[in-house]
Amino acid sequence: MSIIREEYPVEAMDFVTAGEASAQIKRMLKKLGVDPGVIRRLAIACYEAEINLVIHSDGGKLTLELNPDNVTLKSDDVGPGIPDIDLAMSEGYSTASDDVRMMGFGAGMGLANMARNADHFRIDSKVGEGTSIEMIFDIKK
Amino acid sequence: MTVNEVAQILGASIITKEADTAREVKGGYTCDLLSWVMAHGREGMAWTTVQTHMNVIAVASLHDMSCVIIPEGIHMENDVIEKADEEGICVLASELTAFEICGRLAAAGIGAC
Ligand SMILES: Nc1ncnc2c1ncn2[C@@H]1O[C@H](COP(=O)(O)OP(=O)(O)O)[C@@H](O)[C@H]1O
Ligand SMILES: [Mg+2]
Protein backbone atom coordinates (compact mmCIF):
# COMPACT_ATOMS: atom_id res chain seq x y z
CA MET A 1 0.00 0.00 0.00
CA SER A 2 1.26 3.46 -0.78
CA ILE A 3 2.04 5.96 1.96
CA ILE A 4 0.62 8.87 0.00
CA ARG A 5 -1.59 8.99 -3.08
CA GLU A 6 -2.54 12.30 -4.68
CA GLU A 7 -4.39 13.14 -7.89
CA TYR A 8 -3.92 16.29 -9.91
CA PRO A 9 -6.40 17.09 -12.68
CA VAL A 10 -4.87 18.78 -15.75
CA GLU A 11 -6.94 20.71 -18.27
CA ALA A 12 -6.39 20.74 -22.01
CA MET A 13 -4.95 23.95 -23.48
CA ASP A 14 -4.73 25.70 -20.12
CA PHE A 15 -1.35 27.41 -20.42
CA VAL A 16 -1.79 29.56 -17.34
CA THR A 17 -1.82 26.74 -14.82
CA ALA A 18 0.34 24.34 -16.88
CA GLY A 19 3.22 23.27 -14.67
CA GLU A 20 1.33 23.85 -11.41
CA ALA A 21 0.80 20.15 -10.72
CA SER A 22 4.51 19.46 -11.25
CA ALA A 23 5.37 22.34 -8.92
CA GLN A 24 3.03 21.03 -6.22
CA ILE A 25 4.40 17.52 -6.54
CA LYS A 26 7.94 18.79 -6.32
CA ARG A 27 7.19 20.86 -3.20
CA MET A 28 5.53 17.91 -1.52
CA LEU A 29 8.39 15.48 -2.23
CA LYS A 30 10.87 18.08 -0.98
CA LYS A 31 8.96 18.45 2.29
CA LEU A 32 8.92 14.69 2.68
CA GLY A 33 12.68 14.62 2.35
CA VAL A 34 12.89 12.56 -0.85
CA ASP A 35 16.40 12.47 -2.35
CA PRO A 36 17.04 15.65 -4.46
CA GLY A 37 18.31 13.58 -7.41
CA VAL A 38 15.06 11.62 -7.51
CA ILE A 39 13.04 14.83 -7.19
CA ARG A 40 14.95 16.37 -10.10
CA ARG A 41 14.32 13.38 -12.39
CA LEU A 42 10.71 13.18 -11.34
CA ALA A 43 10.14 16.93 -11.82
CA ILE A 44 11.47 16.76 -15.38
CA ALA A 45 9.33 13.74 -16.29
CA CYS A 46 6.28 15.08 -14.49
CA TYR A 47 6.49 18.44 -16.24
CA GLU A 48 6.71 16.74 -19.64
CA ALA A 49 3.71 14.53 -18.86
CA GLU A 50 1.75 17.53 -17.62
CA ILE A 51 2.53 19.60 -20.73
CA ASN A 52 1.52 16.68 -22.96
CA LEU A 53 -1.85 16.55 -21.18
CA VAL A 54 -2.22 20.27 -21.86
CA ILE A 55 -1.16 20.33 -25.52
CA HIS A 56 -2.11 16.88 -26.84
CA SER A 57 -5.01 15.49 -24.78
CA ASP A 58 -8.58 16.56 -24.11
CA GLY A 59 -7.80 16.61 -20.40
CA GLY A 60 -6.52 14.14 -17.86
CA LYS A 61 -4.88 13.68 -14.53
CA LEU A 62 -1.56 12.97 -12.91
CA THR A 63 -1.47 10.52 -10.01
CA LEU A 64 1.41 10.43 -7.58
CA GLU A 65 2.02 7.50 -5.26
CA LEU A 66 4.72 7.51 -2.67
CA ASN A 67 5.68 3.96 -1.78
CA PRO A 68 8.32 2.73 0.68
CA ASP A 69 10.88 2.13 -2.07
CA ASN A 70 9.66 4.17 -5.03
CA VAL A 71 7.63 7.10 -6.26
CA THR A 72 5.15 6.19 -8.98
CA LEU A 73 3.75 8.80 -11.34
CA LYS A 74 0.86 8.08 -13.68
CA SER A 75 -0.59 10.19 -16.44
CA ASP A 76 -4.05 9.23 -17.74
CA ASP A 77 -6.01 11.15 -20.30
CA VAL A 78 -8.97 11.13 -22.58
CA GLY A 79 -7.97 12.20 -26.05
CA PRO A 80 -6.76 11.32 -29.54
CA GLY A 81 -4.26 8.70 -28.38
CA ILE A 82 -1.00 7.90 -30.18
CA PRO A 83 -1.18 5.83 -33.39
CA ASP A 84 2.55 4.97 -33.56
CA ILE A 85 4.21 4.93 -30.14
CA ASP A 86 7.71 4.14 -31.44
CA LEU A 87 7.53 7.15 -33.72
CA ALA A 88 6.15 9.37 -30.95
CA MET A 89 8.99 8.26 -28.64
CA SER A 90 11.68 9.24 -31.14
CA GLU A 91 13.33 12.53 -30.29
CA GLY A 92 12.25 15.45 -32.45
CA TYR A 93 8.91 13.97 -33.55
CA SER A 94 6.00 16.24 -32.67
CA THR A 95 2.49 16.88 -33.90
CA ALA A 96 2.23 20.12 -31.90
CA SER A 97 0.60 23.06 -33.69
CA ASP A 98 2.56 26.10 -34.85
CA ASP A 99 0.93 28.22 -32.12
CA VAL A 100 2.10 25.84 -29.44
CA ARG A 101 5.59 25.66 -30.98
CA MET A 102 5.83 29.45 -30.93
CA MET A 103 5.57 29.21 -27.15
CA GLY A 104 8.58 26.91 -27.01
CA PHE A 105 6.63 23.65 -26.67
CA GLY A 106 6.66 20.86 -29.23
CA ALA A 107 10.38 20.08 -29.31
CA GLY A 108 9.44 16.41 -29.53
CA MET A 109 11.58 15.54 -26.52
CA GLY A 110 8.91 14.97 -23.90
CA LEU A 111 8.37 11.23 -24.08
CA ALA A 112 12.10 10.61 -24.52
CA ASN A 113 12.84 12.83 -21.49
CA MET A 114 10.31 10.86 -19.46
CA ALA A 115 11.75 7.49 -20.45
CA ARG A 116 15.29 8.71 -19.75
CA ASN A 117 14.52 10.08 -16.30
CA ALA A 118 12.29 7.32 -14.96
CA ASP A 119 13.66 3.97 -13.77
CA HIS A 120 10.68 2.20 -15.33
CA PHE A 121 8.55 3.66 -18.11
CA ARG A 122 5.41 2.17 -19.62
CA ILE A 123 3.04 3.75 -22.12
CA ASP A 124 -0.31 2.49 -23.41
CA SER A 125 -2.43 4.32 -25.90
CA LYS A 126 -5.63 3.67 -27.80
CA VAL A 127 -6.41 5.83 -30.79
CA GLY A 128 -9.58 7.81 -30.22
CA GLU A 129 -9.64 6.93 -26.52
CA GLY A 130 -6.61 8.14 -24.65
CA THR A 131 -3.13 7.57 -23.33
CA SER A 132 -1.78 6.16 -20.05
CA ILE A 133 1.78 6.44 -18.87
CA GLU A 134 3.32 4.91 -15.77
CA MET A 135 6.71 5.94 -14.48
CA ILE A 136 8.49 4.53 -11.46
CA PHE A 137 11.33 6.29 -9.69
CA ASP A 138 13.30 4.07 -7.30
CA ILE A 139 14.24 5.62 -3.98
CA LYS A 140 16.10 2.68 -2.47
CA LYS A 141 19.36 3.82 -0.97
CA MET B 1 28.34 36.12 -8.46
CA THR B 2 24.89 37.31 -7.41
CA VAL B 3 21.81 38.13 -9.48
CA ASN B 4 22.40 41.78 -8.57
CA GLU B 5 25.90 41.69 -10.01
CA VAL B 6 24.64 39.98 -13.16
CA ALA B 7 22.09 42.78 -13.60
CA GLN B 8 24.88 45.34 -13.26
CA ILE B 9 27.09 43.63 -15.81
CA LEU B 10 24.20 43.58 -18.29
CA GLY B 11 22.85 47.03 -17.43
CA ALA B 12 19.59 45.16 -16.97
CA SER B 13 16.69 46.13 -14.75
CA ILE B 14 15.34 43.67 -12.21
CA ILE B 15 11.60 43.66 -12.88
CA THR B 16 10.58 41.32 -10.05
CA LYS B 17 10.02 43.08 -6.73
CA GLU B 18 10.46 40.47 -4.03
CA ALA B 19 12.58 37.65 -5.40
CA ASP B 20 16.01 37.46 -3.76
CA THR B 21 18.56 39.43 -5.82
CA ALA B 22 21.40 38.29 -3.58
CA ARG B 23 20.92 34.73 -4.85
CA GLU B 24 24.04 33.10 -6.24
CA VAL B 25 24.25 32.56 -10.00
CA LYS B 26 25.92 29.21 -10.57
CA GLY B 27 26.03 29.22 -14.35
CA GLY B 28 24.37 30.42 -17.51
CA TYR B 29 22.17 28.99 -20.22
CA THR B 30 20.21 30.14 -23.23
CA CYS B 31 17.49 28.32 -25.17
CA ASP B 32 13.86 28.93 -26.13
CA LEU B 33 12.67 25.33 -26.36
CA LEU B 34 11.12 24.55 -22.99
CA SER B 35 11.62 20.78 -23.16
CA TRP B 36 15.26 21.35 -23.93
CA VAL B 37 15.66 23.64 -20.94
CA MET B 38 13.70 21.20 -18.81
CA ALA B 39 16.14 18.46 -19.81
CA HIS B 40 19.30 20.52 -19.27
CA GLY B 41 18.37 23.05 -16.59
CA ARG B 42 20.29 23.19 -13.30
CA GLU B 43 19.86 24.71 -9.89
CA GLY B 44 21.17 28.28 -9.70
CA MET B 45 21.23 28.83 -13.48
CA ALA B 46 20.70 32.23 -15.06
CA TRP B 47 18.53 31.44 -18.10
CA THR B 48 18.21 33.78 -21.08
CA THR B 49 15.08 33.31 -23.23
CA VAL B 50 12.81 35.30 -25.53
CA GLN B 51 9.80 33.37 -24.19
CA THR B 52 7.85 35.42 -21.64
CA HIS B 53 4.75 33.36 -20.79
CA MET B 54 3.84 31.66 -17.49
CA ASN B 55 5.57 28.41 -18.34
CA VAL B 56 8.98 30.05 -18.37
CA ILE B 57 8.52 30.63 -14.64
CA ALA B 58 7.32 27.05 -14.16
CA VAL B 59 10.47 25.67 -15.81
CA ALA B 60 12.79 28.06 -13.95
CA SER B 61 11.11 27.23 -10.66
CA LEU B 62 11.16 23.46 -11.17
CA HIS B 63 14.93 23.75 -11.56
CA ASP B 64 15.41 26.29 -8.74
CA MET B 65 17.11 28.64 -11.17
CA SER B 66 18.50 31.93 -9.85
CA CYS B 67 17.03 34.17 -12.55
CA VAL B 68 15.47 34.49 -15.99
CA ILE B 69 16.93 37.09 -18.34
CA ILE B 70 14.69 38.53 -21.06
CA PRO B 71 16.72 40.00 -23.96
CA GLU B 72 16.13 42.78 -26.50
CA GLY B 73 13.72 44.81 -24.38
CA ILE B 74 10.97 42.19 -24.81
CA HIS B 75 7.94 42.88 -22.64
CA MET B 76 6.86 40.45 -19.92
CA GLU B 77 3.26 40.69 -18.67
CA ASN B 78 2.63 41.69 -15.06
CA ASP B 79 0.90 38.47 -14.08
CA VAL B 80 4.00 36.52 -15.17
CA ILE B 81 6.25 38.85 -13.15
CA GLU B 82 3.99 38.37 -10.13
CA LYS B 83 4.21 34.61 -10.56
CA ALA B 84 8.01 34.88 -10.67
CA ASP B 85 7.95 36.82 -7.40
CA GLU B 86 5.73 34.19 -5.84
CA GLU B 87 8.15 31.47 -6.90
CA GLY B 88 11.20 33.46 -5.86
CA ILE B 89 12.69 33.66 -9.34
CA CYS B 90 14.26 37.02 -10.29
CA VAL B 91 13.50 38.31 -13.78
CA LEU B 92 15.96 40.65 -15.48
CA ALA B 93 15.02 42.77 -18.49
CA SER B 94 17.88 43.63 -20.81
CA GLU B 95 18.17 45.61 -24.03
CA LEU B 96 21.02 43.36 -25.20
CA THR B 97 20.56 40.35 -27.50
CA ALA B 98 20.81 36.85 -26.04
CA PHE B 99 24.15 36.58 -27.82
CA GLU B 100 25.52 39.71 -26.16
CA ILE B 101 24.15 38.66 -22.76
CA CYS B 102 25.91 35.31 -22.91
CA GLY B 103 29.09 36.98 -24.16
CA ARG B 104 29.17 39.42 -21.26
CA LEU B 105 28.39 36.79 -18.66
CA ALA B 106 31.03 34.44 -20.03
CA ALA B 107 33.59 37.28 -20.03
CA ALA B 108 32.68 37.93 -16.39
CA GLY B 109 33.55 34.34 -15.55
CA ILE B 110 30.13 32.68 -15.56
CA GLY B 111 30.32 29.24 -17.08
CA ALA B 112 27.88 26.52 -18.03
CA CYS B 113 26.41 24.79 -14.96
N1 LIG C 1 -1.08 12.43 -24.00
C2 LIG C 1 -0.96 12.39 -25.34
N3 LIG C 1 -2.07 12.27 -26.12
C4 LIG C 1 -1.96 12.22 -27.46
N5 LIG C 1 -0.80 12.30 -28.13
C6 LIG C 1 0.32 12.42 -27.41
C7 LIG C 1 0.31 12.47 -25.98
N8 LIG C 1 1.58 12.56 -25.55
C9 LIG C 1 2.34 12.58 -26.64
N10 LIG C 1 1.62 12.49 -27.77
C11 LIG C 1 2.11 12.42 -29.16
O12 LIG C 1 3.49 12.09 -29.14
C13 LIG C 1 4.25 13.14 -29.75
C14 LIG C 1 5.58 13.28 -29.05
O15 LIG C 1 5.39 13.71 -27.70
P16 LIG C 1 6.58 14.45 -26.97
O17 LIG C 1 7.80 13.60 -27.06
O18 LIG C 1 6.13 14.85 -25.61
O19 LIG C 1 6.85 15.75 -27.87
P20 LIG C 1 5.99 17.11 -28.00
O21 LIG C 1 5.04 17.18 -26.85
O22 LIG C 1 7.02 18.16 -27.97
O23 LIG C 1 5.28 17.02 -29.31
C24 LIG C 1 3.36 14.36 -29.67
O25 LIG C 1 3.67 15.35 -30.62
C26 LIG C 1 1.98 13.75 -29.89
O27 LIG C 1 1.77 13.50 -31.25
MG1 LIG D 1 5.64 16.83 -24.96
Domains and CATH numbers, chain B: 3-107 (3.40.1390.20)
Predicted confidence (pLDDT) at residue A140 exceeds the cutoff of 80? no
Instruction: Tell me the domain boundaries of chain A.
Output: 4-138
Q: Per residue in B10-37, pLDDT tens?
A: 999 999 999 999 999 999 999 999 999 9
Q: Is there a contact between A47 and B32 if contact means CB atoms under 8 Å apart?
A: no
Q: Which residues of A touch B34 (CB under 8 A)?
A: 51, 103-105, 107
Q: Per residue in A77-89, pLDDT tens?
A: 999 999 999 999 9
Reported as a pLDDT band with limits 50, 70 and 90, residue B113 is: confident
Determine the Cα–Cα distance for residues A63 and A73; give it in Å rounded to an integer: 6
Predicted confidence (pLDDT) at residue A73 exceeds the cutoff of 80? yes
Ligand 1: centre distance to CA A107 (Å): 10
Ligand 2: centre distance to CA A51 (Å): 6
pTM, two decimal places: 0.95
Find the helix packing angle between B78-87 and B54-62, rounded to 10°: 10
Q: Which of B27, B38, B77, B31 is nearest to B60 (CA)?
A: B38
Ligand 1, closest atom to CA A55? 21
Q: Per residue in A2-36, pLDDT tens?
A: 789 999 999 999 999 999 999 999 999 999 999 99
pLDDT at A111: 98
CB B76 within 8 A of CB B51: no
| ipTM score assigned to the predicted complex | 0.91
Predicted confidence (pLDDT) at residue A1 exceeds the cutoff of 70? no
Question: What DSSP state is assigned to residue B2?
Answer: B
Q: Which CATH superfamily is domain A4-138 in?
A: Histidine kinase-like ATPase, C-terminal domain (3.30.565.10)
Q: Which of A89, A109, A116, A117 to mutate against chain B (most B CBs within 10 Å)?
A: A109
- Mean pLDDT, chain B, rounded, equals 97
Alpha carbon distances (Å) from A15 to A103, B80, B84, B87? 10, 12, 15, 17
Cα–Cα–Cα angle for B84, A10, A58, nearest 5°? Answer: 130
pLDDT at A80: 98
Contacts of A12 (CB under 8 A, 6+ apart): A53, A54, A57, A58, A59, A79
Q: Which residues of B touch A24 (CB under 8 A)?
A: none
